[in-house]
Amino acid sequence: MRRTVPLLITGIVGVVFVVSYFIPHKPFSNLNDWFSDWFSIVAACAIVLGSLNLILISSQKVARRKEDWGYAVVIIVCFLITVIAGIAGGRGYQNTGTAFEWLYRYLYVSLSSTMYAILAFYVASASYRAFRARNIEATMLLVAAFLVMLGRVPIGDVITQFLPEGARISDFQQWIMDFPQTAGQRAIMIGIALGLTSTSLRVILGIERSHLGGGD
Amino acid sequence: MSRRTIEIALVVVGLALCTLAYLGKKNVQGWHSGFEFSPTTSQIVIGLIGLSLVWILVRTLQDKAVGRRTVFLYVGIAIALPLFMSIDQDIVISENTRHVYESLGELPPGSKVLVSFDYDPASSPELQPMAEAFLAECFRRDLKVIMVALWAPGAIQANIALDTVRARLGLDTTELVYGEDYCNLGYQAGREFVIQRMGTSFEAMFGTDVRGTPYRQIPLVRNVRNFSDINYAFNISAGFPGTVEWVQVAVSRFGLKLGAGNTAVQAPQVYPYLRAGQLQGLLAGINGAAEFEKLIGLKAVATTYMLAQTFAHLIVIAFIIIGNIAYFRGERETKLRGRTQ
Amino acid sequence: MTDRYRPLLTPPVALFLFALAISPATFAQNPEPNPSDSALISAVGSSLMTGPRPAVILSGGDRDNDDGGEIRLTWQLSPDDIKGGIVTGYKVLKASEPGGPFVEVGDMAPGTSQLEGGETDDGRPYYFKVITLSMVPSGNGALVEVSSESEIYGPIVSSAQWFHMGRLNVFVGSVLVVFLILFMIRKARSGRELYVRKIAGLDAVDEAIGRATEMGKKVIYVPGIDDMDNVMTIASMIILGYVAEMTATYDTYLEVPVSKSMVMVTAKEVVKEAYTKVGRADSYKMDQVHYLTDDQFGYAAAIDGIVVREKPATMFYIGSFFAESLILAEIGNAAGAIQIAGTAQPTQLPFFVTACDYTLLGEEMFAASAYLSKEPRLLGSLKGQDYVKAVILVLVVIGIILETFGVWDFSRLFTVV
């Protein structure tokens, strides 16, 4: 029963989505919208579930004085402050000037941007460590990378300004992006799409059930 | 000195440098109006960085390869210092950026443009300049802008972009009327299902706007039922759900005319859609934003950031070359050792 | 005629426009105005007296391939609707009777010549007219909205369709894909041996867990940042089941930090089942699978914190990843963990390939359950997928050849609406 019901729901919803793509007539169009609405509702409700789990595990960590329990205190305090600021703001909690918006603009934006900015450092160090002209293919990749990196910034054209228009680095860069890169992307996308289709079909038909917690 | 003490000292020095850099760029209550290197100073700084890279190359040739922290330091310098430099660069405009600009140019005044803010603050340094430039151009052309968000922070990002655009354009409330010239319908959970549902009814997904006004009471969208009432859509995206989902659902299923602005990392993924004509233009990363700023004649943050972008690319290229030299040297020595054995 | 004052155009601006429109200097500067200029001048001039010339409804009927309640109406633009002209938009009105009353069902920008919608009841006749709107200066300088009406068109009756004819090609393709996959599943069940090539990333799973066991350190499994509606996350849960079985067998601690609540619930179930399956249900702990945050970089930062503090021996990154991929993989690399990644996000594959020891590239990840379980039905679906790929390759080659010789009809067969 614990598996049959989820399998049934998956199967029915999957089939309805596929069928409604081809049959616009009611009830399929309605069912499609209805399931979409339900997904939004379940996704919104599930956030509460996750938050409760976070608080529960963090509280247990503090109560049992587990290693690094200080971080758990920070999580709980920050969580409560954000929730209270959001609720206090009412319907317009996202509007300019509310406490929530202040937290968002001056804390969350800075923290998130910092995390994203770290990428610049990691891209450089990973390239330095791993980008080697080990063989012909790797060398071609390296040359393409150089052309794209130089062609994406104005200095590329400054270096090659003695060349006629249409033969400068930015043009090579655009050609690489438009053709070899796009061709590669398409090949990967076709492969992935087939993998997705096959997996979806297995899930809809109930052949694949490992994601529901193992075998039969 | 213990390792912990060194780490704390480094953090303190780092913070002090960040504070200095921040104050250097900011006008602090009339105390000073921000630092900027003269072109000569800028060139000296660039020369010094170049010389130090040559020194690293020499060290590498002496089998003293640099560690990752040195790479981090150089990247930090390459990104931070250009923000204080006043070097103009000639930005080359790509076809994809031009298509976005031309798509807007083809729209008659009063056309309805849907802008989806599908990103968060993390990618805002790259995407926010794009959003601001795009909105500025829409308002300049008297296009009506309907904003939505499939990412929770997107709704606030839209408000922040609006604040910046209004401050920059000097448009006060009597000139740009909320609900008539633009509106922010806010965030809706449900990812690509939201796009699918918008194909039949906007109102079903966005019952109220961010201010809590019921959909039917907003004059701009009162008659907007679904995508067929939208003249052009622009998706600013940093991932999922984003441009791929907008193309797959809104363009393929509902025939929406769509342009996009993506982070540089994500842009290659949407190239197949550009070539297939499913996307009407693409602003790729900060370059795309800078190109768009140039097209609309606005010298804003993206143009400023481009110098840092140039420096960062050059530093990465320099370190890849240094890394390869070290690799080939190592290979050669291994082979020589093999021969002698 | 509708009068509506627009605050956007303040009196001085309007006065200037008005003066410009009627000033003799405007004409004098261009003794031989080009056709568009003269059209604009005549449009402005005529509108002062009568408003814009009306649009003409050309055709109307039921909207194709919809679920009813909508019609399609096409009209010829007003001759005054030119670039830089006076037309400011169109309104479409509908009524049940030719004599009205009419209600507004569409509000379109200038240059728009079609409406798809109309909010109609199926089977009931409706009559439509198009109002052309324009702005002209009034006596006091402000701009006034004036309009003109088209002839009434109708009756139009809407209806719902039972099949979307524009998607017939997709239907045929889908049937072919499903048929091939099901056929191969059936064939595999009949006991025929199916060959699957070696996938290094999946073969390395045992080795990676073995290393953690030897070192007495934990294994961290990161299932990506997407929810359960993403097939990549489902594929990740399938591999998690196998990893959990292995860690339970070797009594190695497995930690699964997740970023979505629904993934948390599923992962808990998968790990618990795996522990039970190998008879180690007592080793399973409630907090092995735990939620961190929905926020992308908050999640990455939290995992980085765990990795830096606890130095795991093995890291798995399998699922849907975005910009956080390199942040995670570089930190794992710095911590000295053996790393196995897998994603079908093409943009993140280069980062994982660079920073991890093994990477499952796109479809390899979806092949995992078949590869690891060797279950005939799953292997059959994998084989079917290969046949579909072969068919696509043949079609692509045919398309390339035909288009090279200027034959486009074949490619058009694959256009989807």
Tokens of A71: 């971080």
Q: Which of A54, A198, A202 is opposite residue C291, by nearest beta carbon?
A: A54
CB–CB contact C104 B223 (8 Å): yes
3-state secondary structure chain C: CCCCECCCCCHHHHHHHHHHHHCHHHHHHCCCCCHHHHHHHHHHHHHHHHCCCCCEEEEEEECCCCECCCEEEEEECCCCCCCCCCEEEEEEEEECCCCCCCEEEEEECCCCCEEEECCCCCCCCEEEEEEEEEEEECCCCCEEEEEEECCCEEEECCCECCCCHHHHHHHHHHHHHHHHHHHHHHHHHCCCCCCCCCCHHHHHHHHHHHHHHHHCCCEEEEEECCCCCCHHHHHHHHHHHHHHHHHHHHCCCEEEEECCHHHHHHHHHHHHHHHHHCCCHHHCCHHHEEECCCCHHHHHHHHHHHHHHHCCCEEEEEEECCCHHHHHHHHHHHCCCEEEEEECCCCCHHHHHHHCCEEEECHHHHCHHHHHHCCHHHHHHHHHHHHHHHHHHHHHHHHHHHHHCCCCHHHHCCCCC
Question: Tens of pLDDT along chain B (341 residues)?
Answer: 677 788 788 888 888 887 877 777 666 556 656 677 888 888 898 999 999 999 999 988 888 878 888 888 899 888 888 888 878 888 889 999 999 999 999 898 889 999 999 998 888 889 999 999 999 999 988 899 999 999 988 998 999 899 888 877 666 545 788 899 999 999 987 788 889 888 888 998 898 988 889 999 999 998 888 888 899 999 999 888 899 999 988 998 788 999 999 999 889 889 989 988 899 999 999 999 999 999 998 888 888 889 999 999 999 999 999 999 888 888 777 777 776 65
CA B128 → CA A122, B113, B311, C24, distances in Å? 23, 18, 21, 47
Closest CA to C136 of C232, C3, C31, C28: C3
Region of poorest pLDDT, from A46-55, B230-239, C52-61, C338-347: A46-55
CB–CB contact B320 A36 (8 Å): no
Å from C76 to nearest chain A CA? 29
Q: Decide which of A142 and A32 is more confident.
A: A142
Nearest CA in chain B to C334: B68
Q: How confident is the prediction for chain C on average, in pLDDT?
A: 83
CB C292, CB C264: distance < 8 Å? no
Which chain A positions have a beta carbon within 8 Å of C65's beta carbon?
24
Closest CA to B105 of B147, B144, B138: B138
Q: Which chains have at least 3 CB atom pairs separated by less than 8 Å from chain A?
A: B, C
Rounded average pLDDT over C321-330: 91
pLDDT at A211 (0 to 100): 67
pLDDT at B168 (0 to 100): 72
Which chain C positions have a beta carbon within 8 Å of A50's beta carbon?
260-261, 264, 291, 294
For an interface test with B, the pick among C4, C86, C108, C321 (most B C-beta atoms closer than 10 Å) comes out as C108
Q: How confident is the prediction for chain A on average, in pLDDT?
A: 86
For an interface test with B, the pick among A128, A143, A173 (most B C-beta atoms closer than 10 Å) comes out as A128
- Rounded to the nearest 10 degrees, the angle between the axes of helix B95-106 and helix B285-296 is 50
CA B245 → CA A183, B193, B226, B279, distances in Å? 20, 9, 17, 12
Q: How, if at all, do strands C126-137 and C87-95 pair?
A: antiparallel
A42 touches chain B (CB under 8 A): no
- C-alpha dihedral over B265, B270, B275, B276, to 10 degrees? 170
Tokens of A204: 């809809």
pTM value is: 0.79
CB–CB contact B238 C322 (8 Å): yes
Q: Which tens digit of pLDDT belongs to each residue from C341-388?
A: 999 888 899 889 989 999 998 888 888 878 887 888 888 888 888 899
**B51 contacts: CB under 8 Å, gap ≥ 6:** none
Rounded average pLDDT over A168-188: 89
For an interface test with B, the pick among C4, C8, C81 (most B C-beta atoms closer than 10 Å) comes out as C8
pLDDT at C196 (0 to 100): 82
A181 touches chain B (CB under 8 A): yes
